[in-house]
């Protein structure tokens, strides 16, 4: 994610025992290089990122994963990042809200206010 | 009306539109004159609290700064003021309690010494006075007074001034005022009649507003790309309109004008202008200086009419500027905080997060001491609002700088004796800090836990109720944070908390319940506290069952929350049926609770599932199933939600389900599904959960379920059709399971869905296609072959026009279905049909939604596999010549996928041949396609193509165009990383050749290019080994020019990070070099290796 959106910040603390989960939109994507192929090792995130208000959110886009994280699937590093040992650099969780996302939310809010949806 | 009469009327020709049509027209043009819900919401949201955020205590005067001492004095004064006001209020109340006596004192009727005349007179005077005071008269007199005072020249008759209003009242309807004719001019010579009517003067505000309106400029000099300019903007940007040229201005003023222009562009500009100006302002932030920038931004942020978008963009700007200015912001900490901190209690989570990030950045820039001195005066502010916000800000400060540094201050505040408000705020800081960290995230708190609890302990028995309540709540939050550790620290507060539990009622009780309820789960974790845990669980269960019937929402919520975490068990509460489950069912499973807030119903569902798990699943389950047939829809929905939750969490429990309950369950779920009036997705989830859990046991009920679905599929309302087709998609695999080889049911469903493809509502159409997908997916290949009505041959041509649909849901569903058919049964379909579909899919690559593009690319792969890559690749290569970048990238991805599915040798010649076209876009597209191709291939295949692609890459790497080199570098990265461990020494010369070609590019400066180049060099190091690689570095590491040195050191550092151990043997032996210029060729025997 942070490869294509430069204002995203990765946590980069020492990873712990918990596996990083992603939402259906980010499934299959390497958290470091956004590659969709050759998933190799499971992503591990740090303790603080696996708890608190971020605990049931996608590690890349912070989408909600349900109360018991039932909508989440484990994230994987791709083969290339593993060979370059980038999987050992630290917890890859995105900890801030990117401007792209916050801009989108504001825009959606505006649209919602102006046009009511037919079907929800 | 008699029928004959009606008939007679019909005879008269009616030339109006039909009543149905007119009804529809009326509906269409129905003018909503009530307040819209959005507006209503807005006015509700703008309550006391939010309004305060706009007119807070902010003093944004940038020239006047108050010292700490002055602020503290002011706060003291304010507190005193509030205290005095309260005293006055109290006194008034006391007085009003006494007053009735005075009023009721009976008036003596008539003294013996007063004559009747005198008595009469005094009475009259009294009544006159009274009448003057009576309301109607008061109003009239006021009105008269106003008119007289306004000094208007009005004709007065009998003391009544004839204003328009009065005339309207006197004269009957139908009269109107006549204006003098156009050419009329009053004769100036004649002395004006003083008694004529003068229209009331236009009020001063209106004049000002009109003047403003006339002033609002359409365009401002030097500022282009604005989308709008509001009236309020004049207040902040008016200067821009008055100043025409900047020639004669001082540099300071020029600075101000420039930053103001940029700010206006950011606030009101179109997207491109906004982005550009945002960048310019942040880049030049240090040049403009904090005072100029903040004195302009902060007042705008306090504007109440600011739109969401504008506020958001300004807040973003503040965040970025803070980052740039760093310690320069210190003097403005208080001002920034006063504007930003109210956003911490915003309803929207993202906005709160934004504010949090800004305050965190501010804390880092300003430092702890500065933050404390800024916020200290507000800690015991008289206003609760200010204290609330202050505690939140402090929590962020503590979180950012670490509790270690913040703790001494916190300790001092918590121990404050001076005034309970400071103590209250201090406790609240701890609470907010816990909330900030979130449940189970207490690692940073744990080291201070014992001290914190010890400090909080006396507050549990404070004299002020508010302090006691917040202490209990904070302890609960702390326990929740450090779960499952730290019971040793909490042991000391157990006793006072339990005492508080016994002594409080209402809200206080709820908070103490929460406190004990949060501590019990910690005991469970520690073996030494088992007895404690059992005792407290039993006791608290008793208290909770007593409070089940409490009408207070807060209490109900806390009870439900506690029950979720309590270690209840059959052994602990032996008579659980009569003591817990029955009372719980009675007081929470009723229509009143079901119509309560969503939060409560969710908690009820969770607790019910928890009780089922801990006591008796089937018993609880049976008790709930009854409610699926309740008359109240909300209760039915909650019941379905509970069933869904229970079954999904433990589907194995249903094995013990007896046939009677099974019938009841399916019947109930089906009934609830049929009777819903508001379509809700929980019904679908519940149905899906039941179906997957029952699996083949669903067979006896399948007929009734399918007939219900089919019936609803024909419903008039689109929502119902949508929901029932979604349901088909969910249960299709179960139908397959139940069919046991007889696919007729699925065939029938497919036929009906196929016939419904003419659906007009796009949302419904998407769901129908999804259902069709699920049904076809459930069938296996052989039964798909024999399917005749409709055959796959019929379905696919029907889908081709649907692919043109613009709606995203339809597009995605349709592409997926096409892909499925290509996977499952491609052989029966003509290649031409597939090509037609390929062309449609190319169009799909333009879609803004990534999922659609990904699905389309996958479909290319499936199609190419069946009809061969030749035609598809030609079509894709032609597509490389288009303008849009997104389309070219997607085409490149598609080529990569096609090459992977059909083996590279089938397409690589064609792709490489295309590189000969002297068009930048095409060549880049080819390189991109190669990059994706080698990303997808595995190492064994990759190395076979190494020599084949080298000349092409050689050419690309020596091209003038940066993008050529960048993309070629990515290709090399993929190739190199793929062949690690597979390419032996024979291949090394190719990689060395690549390294030779890439290395000169380390001096590139463009961020995209350099990052790709460095990555590919990294990859080459991995494949070649450190030894060969570092030979390229030594020469550059000590180059006299810094520009040369720094990229080499960067490369060296990367190598050092990853392969420091393997670097050691390759370090040059500097100590062997002699100081004079003699060259020594002596090599130790063991140093020699090949």
Give contacts of B761 with chain A, Cβ < 8 Å: 119
Q: Give backbone dihedrals phi and psi of B223, rounded to 5 degrees, phi first.
A: -125, 115
Cα distances (angstroms) measured from residue B563 to each of B537, B567, B624: 10, 9, 18
Residue in B309, B440, B936 closest to A51 by CB: B440
User: Which pLDDT belongs to residue B145?
Assistant: 65
CB-nearest partner of B763 from A53, A105, A119: A119
In chain B, pLDDT over 70 holds for what percent of residues?
A: 84
State pLDDT tens for residues B927-954.
Answer: 999 999 999 998 888 989 999 999 999 9
Least confident of A105-109, B44-48, B966-970: B44-48
Residue listed under structure tokens 């006194």: B91
pLDDT 10s digits, B599-611: 999 999 999 999 9
Which pLDDT score is estimated for B159? Answer: 66
Q: Decide if A13 touches B, using CB distance below 8 A.
A: no
Cβ contact B718–A103 (<8 Å) = no
B1019 with A55: Cβ contact below 8 A: no
Strands A73-74 and A21-22: antiparallel
Q: Note which residues in 747-786 of chain B have CB less than 8 A from chain A.
A: 761, 763
- Give the burial string for B796-835 (b: 16+ CB within 10 Å, else e): beebeebbebeeebbbbbbbbbbbbbbbbbbeebeeeebe
Cα of A41 to nearest chain B Cα, Å: 16
Q: Taking CA atoms, what residue in A is nearest to B722? A: A119
Q: For residues B102 and B432, which has the higher predicted lDDT (pLDDT)?
A: B432
Partner-chain contact A84 B1058, CB within 8 Å: yes
The answer to whether B587 and B548 are in contact (CB under 8 A) is yes
Answer for the pair B425, B390: CB distance below 8 angstroms, yes or no: yes
Task: Of B848, B782, B786, B771, give the one whose Cα is nearest residue B816.
Answer: B771
Virtual torsion, Cα B471, B472, B478, B479, nearest 10 deg = 160
Among the partner residues A102, A103, A113, nearest to B38 by beta-carbon distance: A113
Q: Write the residue in B316, B441, B980 that is nearest to A83 by C-beta.
A: B980
Closest CA to B724 of B759, B755, B691, B764: B764
Q: Does B38 touch chain A (CB under 8 A)?
A: yes
Task: List all residues 6 or more positions away from A110 whose beta carbon is below 8 Å from its beta carbon.
Answer: B308, B309
Looking at residue B3, its pLDDT comes to 46
CA of A109 vs chain B CAs: smallest distance (Å): 9
- What dihedral do alpha carbons B801, B803, B809, B815 form, nearest 10°? 130
Q: Which long-range contacts (CB under 8 A, 24 or more apart) does B493-500 make?
A: B493/B453, B493/B456, B493/B457, B493/B460, B493/B519, B494/B519, B494/B532, B494/B536, B496/B457, B496/B460, B496/B461, B497/B460, B497/B472, B498/B536, B499/B461, B500/B460, B500/B461, B500/B468, B500/B472
The 10s digit of each residue's pLDDT in A62-89 is 889 987 888 899 999 999 999 999 999 9
Mean of pLDDT values over B37-46: 53
Dihedral of CA atoms B901, B904, B909, B910 in degrees, nearest 10, equals: 20
Pairing between β-strand B160-161 and β-strand B156-157 as defined by DSSP bridges = antiparallel
Is residue B245 included in any domain, yes or no? yes
Which residue would you say has higher pLDDT here, B642 or B112? Answer: B642
- Rounded CA separation B1035/B1029 (Å): 12
Query: Which residues of A are less than 8 Å from B1015 in CB distance?
Result: 84
Confidence of residue B211 (pLDDT cuts 50, 70, 90): low
- Of residues B10 and B730, more confidence is placed in B730
> With contact defined as beta carbons under 8 Å apart, do A37 and A78 qualify?
yes
Alpha carbon of residue B458 to chain centroid: 40
Bin A13: left if φ > 0, else alpha if -120 < ψ < 50, else beta: beta
Q: Is the pLDDT of residue B165 over 90?
A: no
Q: Indicate the residue of B437, B439, B718 with minimum beta-carbon distance to A119.
A: B718
| Residue A48, min C-alpha distance to chain B (Å) | 6
The set of residues, in sequence order, having a beta carbon less than 8 Å from that of B795 and lying 6+ positions away, is B754, B772, B821
Min distance A17 CA to chain B CA atoms (Å): 14
Which pLDDT score is estimated for B144?
A: 62
User: Mean pLDDT: which of B165-169, B437-441, B485-489 is highest?
Assistant: B485-489
Range of B232's domain? Answer: 222-366
Does A53 touch chain B if contact means CB atoms closer than 8 Å?
yes
Which residues from chain A sit within 8 angstroms of residue B854, using beta carbons? 36
Whether B726 and B764 have beta carbons less than 8 Å apart is answered as no
B705: CB partners within 8 A, 6+ apart: B666, B670, B698, B731
CA distance B971 to B956: 11
Residue B125 has pLDDT above 80, yes or no: no
The number of folded domains in chain B is: 1
Closest in B316, B353, B443 to A99, CB measured? B316
Considering only alpha carbons, which residue of chain A is nearest residue B320? A7
Q: Does B1058 touch chain A (CB under 8 A)?
A: yes
Under an 8 A CB cutoff, do B977 and A47 touch? no
Residues of chain A contacting residue B308, judged by C-beta atoms under 8 Å apart: 106, 109-110
Give the integer Cα–Cα distance in Å for B275 and B271: 6
Res B205: pLDDT? 58
Query: B160 - beta bridge partners?
Result: B157
Tell me if residue B30 falls in helix, strand or coil: coil
- Alpha-carbon distance of A89 to A15, in angstroms, equals 9
Q: Is A25 on the interface with B (CB under 8 A)?
A: yes
- Whole-number pLDDT of residue B146: 67
- Could A37 and B354 be called an inter-chain contact, meaning their C-beta atoms sit closer than 8 Å? no
Cβ–Cβ < 8 Å for B855, B815? yes
Q: Judge: B437–A79 Cβ closer than 8 Å, yes or no.
A: no
Does some domain include residue B954? no
Contact A52 B935 (CB under 8 A): no
Find the residue in A nearest to B1018 (Cα): A84
The reported pLDDT for the residue numbered B131 is 46
Question: Stretch B800-814: mean pLDDT, rounded?
Answer: 91
pLDDT band at B143 (very low <50, low <70, confident <90, very high): low
**Is B439 an 8 Å CB contact of chain A?**
yes
What residue spans define the domains of chain A?
21-119
pLDDT band at B12 (very low <50, low <70, confident <90, very high): low
- Which chain A residue has the Cα nearest residue B980? A83
A-chain residues near B760 (CB < 8 A): none
Q: What is the DSSP string of B142-157?
A: HHHHHHHHTT----EE
Residue-by-residue DSSP string for B334-354: HHHHHHHGGGGG-SSHHHHHH
Position B509 confidence tier, pLDDT thresholds 50, 70, 90: very high
The answer to whether B666 and B690 have CB atoms below 8 angstroms apart is yes
Using an 8 Å CB-CB cutoff, list chain B residues near A110. 308-309
The answer to whether B443 contacts A103, with C-beta atoms less than 8 Å apart, is no
Least confident interval from B226-240, B347-361, B559-573: B226-240
Which chain A residue is nearest to residue B443, measuring alpha carbons?
A48
Rounded CA separation B124/B140 (Å): 21
Tokens of B1076: 């004079």
User: Which tokens belong to B501?
Assistant: 């539990």
pLDDT of residue B982: 86
SS (H, E, C) B606-665: HHHHHHHHHCCHHHHHHHHHHHHHCCCHHHHHHHHHHHHHHHHHCHHHHHHCCHHHHHHH
pLDDT above 90: percentage of residues in chain A = 48
Task: Please classify residue A5 by burial: count the beta carbons closer than 10 Å to its beta carbon, then call 0-12 exposed, 13-18 middle and 19+ buried.
Answer: middle
Q: What is the mean pLDDT of chain B?
A: 85
For A42, half-sphere exposure in the C-beta direction (CA atoms, 13 angstrom radius) is 10
Question: pLDDT of B579-626, one tens digit each?
Answer: 899 999 999 999 988 888 889 999 999 999 999 999 999 999 999 999
Vertex B673, ends B671 and B676: CA angle to 5°?
Answer: 100
> Which of A32, A88, A90, A119 to mutate to probe the B interface, most B CBs <10 Å?
A119
**What is the distance between the alpha carbons of residues B934 and B920, in angstroms, rounded to a whole number?**
21
Q: Which pLDDT belongs to residue B201? A: 55
- The closest of B968, B961, B956 to B1017, measured between CA atoms, is B968
Asked if the model's pLDDT at residue B416 lies above 70, the reply is yes
In contact, A5 and A100? CB cutoff 8 Å: yes
Per-residue confidence band for B132, with pLDDT thresholds at 50, 70 and 90? very low
Q: A38 to chain B: which residues are within 8 Å by CB?
A: 938
* pLDDT 10s digits, A32-69: 999 999 999 999 999 888 888 888 899 998 889 987 88
Query: Comparing C-alpha atoms, which of B758, B676, B755, B762 is closest to residue B718?
Result: B762
Residue of chain B whose alpha carbon sits nearest to that of A86: B1058
Contact B1024, B1043 (CB under 8 A): no
Is B532 domain-assigned? no
Q: Residue B397 belongs to what H/E stretch?
A: helix B384-401
The neighbour count for residue B75, using CB atoms within 10 Å, is 19
Q: Model's pTM, two decimal places?
A: 0.76
pLDDT at B1029: 93
Residue B1022 has its nearest CB partner, among A55, A83, A118, at: A83
Mean pLDDT throughout B104-115? 56
User: Which residues, in sequence order, are bridge partners of residue A22?
Assistant: A73
Could you give the CA distance from residue B261 to residue B519 in angstroms, rounded to a whole number?
57
Decide: B353 and A97 in contact? Cβ < 8 Å: yes
pLDDT tens, B736-789? 999 887 888 999 999 999 999 999 999 999 999 999 999 999 998 888 888 888
CB atoms within 10 A of CB B744: 8
Q: Is the pLDDT of residue B660 over 70?
A: yes
Distance CA B856, CA B843 (A): 9
From the CB of residue B782, how many other CB atoms can be counted at a distance below 10 Å? 8
Distance from CA of B309 to the nearest CA of A (A): 6
Q: Does B708 touch chain A (CB under 8 A)?
A: no
What are the CB-based long-range contacts (under 8 Å, 24+) for B869-876? B869/B898, B869/B899, B869/B902, B869/B906, B869/B907, B870/B906, B871/B831, B871/B835, B871/B838, B872/B835, B872/B838, B872/B898, B873/B898, B873/B907, B873/B910, B873/B911, B874/B910, B875/B835, B875/B838, B875/B839, B875/B842, B876/B842
Residue B134 lies in a domain: no
Answer with the residue of higher pLDDT: A40 or B216: A40
Tell me which of A23, A25, A36, A53 to substitute to probe the interface with B (most B C-beta atoms closer than 10 Å): A53
Q: Answer yes or no: is the ipTM higher than 0.90.
A: yes
Q: What is the pLDDT of residue B786?
A: 86
Determine which of B200-214, B362-376, B699-713, B909-923 has the lowest per-residue pLDDT on average.
B200-214
CB contact under 8 A, B441 and A51: yes
């Amino acid at each position: 994610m942070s490869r294509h959106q430069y204002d995203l910040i990765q946590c980069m603390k020492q990873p712990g025992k918990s596996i990083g989960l992603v939402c259906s939109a980010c499934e299959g994507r390497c958290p470091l290089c956004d590659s969709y192929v050759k998933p190799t090792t499971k992503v591990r995130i740090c303790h603080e990122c696996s708890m608190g208000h971020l605990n049931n959110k996608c590690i890349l886009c912070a989408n909600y994963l349900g109360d018991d994280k039932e909508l989440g699937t484990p994230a994987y590093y791709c083969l290339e990042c593993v060979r370059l040992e980038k999987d050992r650099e630290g917890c890859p969780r995105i900890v801030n809200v990117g401007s792209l996302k916050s801009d989108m939310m504001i825009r959606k809010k505006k649209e919602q206010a102006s046009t009511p949806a037919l079907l929800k | 009306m008699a029928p004959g009469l009606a008939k007679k009327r019909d005879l008269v020709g009616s030339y109006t539109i039909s009543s149905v049509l007119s009804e529809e027209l009326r509906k269409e043009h129905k003018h909503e004159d009530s307040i819209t819900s959005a507006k209503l919401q807005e006015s509700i949201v703008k309550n006391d609290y939010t309004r305060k955020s706009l007119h807070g205590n902010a003093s944004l005067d940038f020239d006047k700064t108050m010292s700490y001492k002055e602020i503290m004095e002011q706060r003291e004064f304010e507190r005193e003021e509030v205290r005095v006001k309260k005293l006055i209020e109290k006194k008034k109340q006391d007085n009003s309690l006494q007053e009735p006596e005075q009023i009721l004192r009976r008036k003596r009727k008539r003294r013996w010494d007063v004559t009747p005349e005198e008595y009469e007179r005094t009475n009259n005077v009294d009544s006159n006075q009274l009448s003057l005071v009576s309301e109607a008269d008061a109003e009239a007199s006021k009105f008269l007074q106003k008119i007289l005072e306004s000094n208007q020249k009005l004709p007065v008759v009998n003391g009544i001034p004839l204003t328009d209003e009065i005339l309207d009242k006197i004269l009957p309807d139908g009269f109107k005022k006549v204006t003098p004719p156009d050419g009329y001019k009053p004769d100036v010579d004649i002395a004006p009649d003083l008694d004529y009517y003068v229209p009331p003067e236009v009020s001063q505000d209106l004049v000002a507003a009109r003047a403003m309106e006339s002033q609002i400029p359409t365009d401002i000099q030097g500022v282009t790309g604005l989308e709008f300019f509001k009236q309020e903007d004049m207040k902040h940007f008016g200067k821009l309109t008055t100043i025409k040229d900047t020639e004669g201005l001082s540099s300071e003023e020029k600075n101000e004008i420039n930053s103001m222009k940029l700010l206006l562009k950011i606030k009101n500009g179109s997207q491109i202008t906004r982005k550009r100006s945002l960048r310019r302002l942040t880049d030049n932030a240090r040049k403009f200086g904090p005072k100029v920038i903040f004195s302009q931004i902060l007042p705008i942020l306090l504007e109440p009419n600011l739109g969401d978008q504008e506020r958001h963009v300004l807040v973003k700007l503040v965040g970025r500027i803070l980052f740039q200015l760093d310690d320069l912001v210190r003097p403005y900490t208080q001002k920034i905080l006063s504007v930003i901190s109210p956003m911490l209690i915003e309803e929207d989570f993202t906005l709160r997060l934004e504010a949090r990030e800004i305050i965190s950045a501010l804390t880092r820039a300003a430092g702890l001491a500065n933050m404390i001195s800024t916020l200290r005066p507000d800690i015991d502010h008289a206003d609760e609002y200010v204290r609330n916000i202050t505690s939140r800000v402090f929590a962020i400060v503590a979180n950012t700088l670490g509790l270690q540094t913040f703790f001494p201050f916190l300790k001092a505040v918590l121990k404050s004796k001076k005034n309970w408000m400071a103590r209250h705020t201090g406790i609240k800081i701890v609470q907010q800090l816990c909330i900030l960290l979130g449940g189970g995230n207490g690692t940073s708190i744990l080291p201070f836990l014992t001290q914190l609890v010890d400090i909080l302990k006396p507050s549990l028995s404070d004299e002020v109720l508010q302090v006691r309540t917040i202490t209990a709540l904070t302890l609960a939050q702390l326990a929740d944070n450090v779960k499952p550790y730290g019971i040793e620290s909490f042991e000391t507060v157990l006793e006072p908390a339990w005492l508080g539990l016994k002594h409080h009622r209402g809200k206080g009780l709820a908070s103490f319940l929460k406190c004990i309820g949060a501590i019990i789960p910690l005991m469970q974790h520690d073996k030494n506290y088992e007895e404690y845990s059992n005792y407290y669980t039993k006791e608290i269960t008793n208290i909770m069952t007593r409070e089940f019937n409490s009408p207070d929402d807060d209490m109900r919520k806390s009870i439900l929350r506690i029950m979720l975490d309590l270690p209840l068990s059959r052994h602990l509460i032996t008579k659980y049926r009569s003591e817990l489950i029955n009372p719980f069912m009675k007081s929470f499973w009723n229509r009143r609770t079901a119509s309560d807030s969503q939060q409560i119903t969710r908690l009820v569902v969770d607790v019910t599932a928890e009780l089922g798990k801990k006591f008796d699943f089937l018993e609880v389950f049976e008790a709930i199933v009854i409610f699926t047939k309740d008359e109240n829809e909300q209760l039915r929905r909650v019941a379905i939600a509970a069933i869904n939750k229970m079954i999904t969490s433990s589907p194995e429990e249903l094995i013990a389900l007896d046939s009677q309950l099974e019938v009841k369950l399916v019947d109930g779920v089906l009934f609830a599904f049929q009777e819903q009036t508001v379509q809700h997705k929980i019904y679908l989830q519940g149905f899906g959960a039941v179906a997957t859990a029952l699996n083949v046991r669903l067979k006896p009920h399948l007929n009734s379920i399918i007939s219900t679905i089919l019936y609803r599929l024909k419903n008039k309302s689109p929502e119902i059709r949508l929901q029932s087709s979604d349901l088909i998609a969910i249960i299709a695999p179960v139908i397959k399971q139940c069919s046991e080889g007889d696919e007729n049911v699925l065939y029938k469903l497919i036929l009906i869905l196929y016939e419904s493809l003419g659906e007009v509502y796009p949302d419904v159409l998407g769901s129908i296609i999804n259902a069709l997908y699920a049904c076809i997916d459930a069938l296996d290949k052989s039964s798909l072959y024999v399917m005749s009505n409709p055959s796959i041959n019929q379905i696919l041509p029907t889908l081709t026009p649907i692919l043109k649909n613009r709606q995203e849901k339809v597009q995605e569903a349709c592409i997926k279905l096409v892909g499925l058919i290509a996977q499952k049964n491609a052989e029966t379909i003509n290649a031409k049909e597939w090509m037609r579909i390929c062309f449609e899919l190319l169009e799909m690559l333009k879609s803004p939604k990534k999922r659609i593009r990904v699905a389309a690319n996958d479909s290319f792969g499936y199609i190419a596999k069946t009809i061969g890559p030749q035609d598809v690749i030609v079509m894709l290569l032609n597509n490389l010549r288009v303008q849009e970048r997104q389309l070219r990238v997607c085409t490149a991805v598609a080529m990569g996928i096609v090459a992977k599915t059909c083996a590279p040798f089938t397409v690589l010649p064609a792709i490489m041949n295309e590189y000969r076209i002297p068009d930048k876009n095409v060549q880049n597209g080819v390189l991109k396609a190669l990059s994706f191709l080698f990303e997808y291939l595995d190492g064994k295949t990759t190395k076979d193509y190494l020599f084949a692609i080298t000349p092409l890459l050689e050419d690309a790497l020596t091209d003038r165009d940066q993008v050529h080199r960048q993309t070629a570098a990515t290709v090399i990265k993929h190739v190199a990383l793929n062949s690690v461990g597979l390419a032996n020494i024979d291949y090394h010369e190719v990689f060395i050749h690549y390294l030779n070609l890439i290395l000169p590019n380390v001096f590139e400066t463009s961020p995209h290019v350099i990052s790709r180049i460095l990555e590919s060099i990294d990859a080459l190091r991995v494949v070649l080994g450190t030894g060969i690689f570092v030979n390229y570095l030594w020469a550059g590491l000590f180059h006299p020019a810094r520009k040369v040195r720094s990229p080499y050191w960067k490369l060296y550092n990367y190598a050092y990070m990853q392969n420091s151990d393997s670097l050691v043997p390759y370090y040059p032996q500097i100590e062997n070099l002699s100081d004079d210029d003699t060259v020594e060729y002596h090599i130790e025997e063991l140093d020699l290796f090949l």
